[in-house]
């Protein structure tokens, strides 16, 4: 995950309820395009799920996936492995 994706993901905290792109824009100080592209990438990782409510897109995050990334990051940090690859330890999502 890159910095933009992590910053958008941080916008889900402390409340992990369904959240709109507009709310994530305000929390991350990024533009709509940057937030939306980060959310698309996070969806590919399996970290967030998109739900359409009427005309509004809402997102929520999956704790298990984020925990996996944190554990793999700390193990790679300890072992001196490549920290840029989010899938360097356990394979791809």
Domains and CATH numbers, the chain: 3-62 (1.10.10.10)
On whether the CB atoms of residues 61 and 48 are closer than 8 A, the answer is yes
DSSP-assigned beta bridge partners for residue 58: 20, 51
Distance CA 35, CA 25 (A): 6
- pLDDT at residue 31, rounded to an integer: 95
**Segment 28-58, tens digit of pLDDT:** 899 999 999 999 998 888 778 888 888 888 8
Phi, psi at residue 80, to the nearest 5°?
Answer: 75, 25
- pLDDT at residue 93, rounded to an integer: 40
Whole-prediction pTM: 0.64
DSSP label at 61? E
């Amino acid at each position: 995950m890159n910095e933009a994706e992590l910053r958008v993901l941080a916008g889900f905290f402390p409340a992990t309820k369904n959240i709109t792109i507009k709310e994530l824009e305000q929390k991350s100080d990024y533009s709509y395009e940057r937030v939306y592209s980060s959310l698309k990438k996070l969806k590919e990782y399996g970290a967030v799920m998109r739900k359409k409510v009427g005309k509004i897109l809402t997102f929520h995050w999956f704790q298990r996936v984020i925990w996996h990334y944190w554990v793999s990051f700390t193990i790679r940090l300890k072992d001196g492995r490549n920290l840029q690859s989010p899938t360097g330890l356990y394979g791809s999502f």
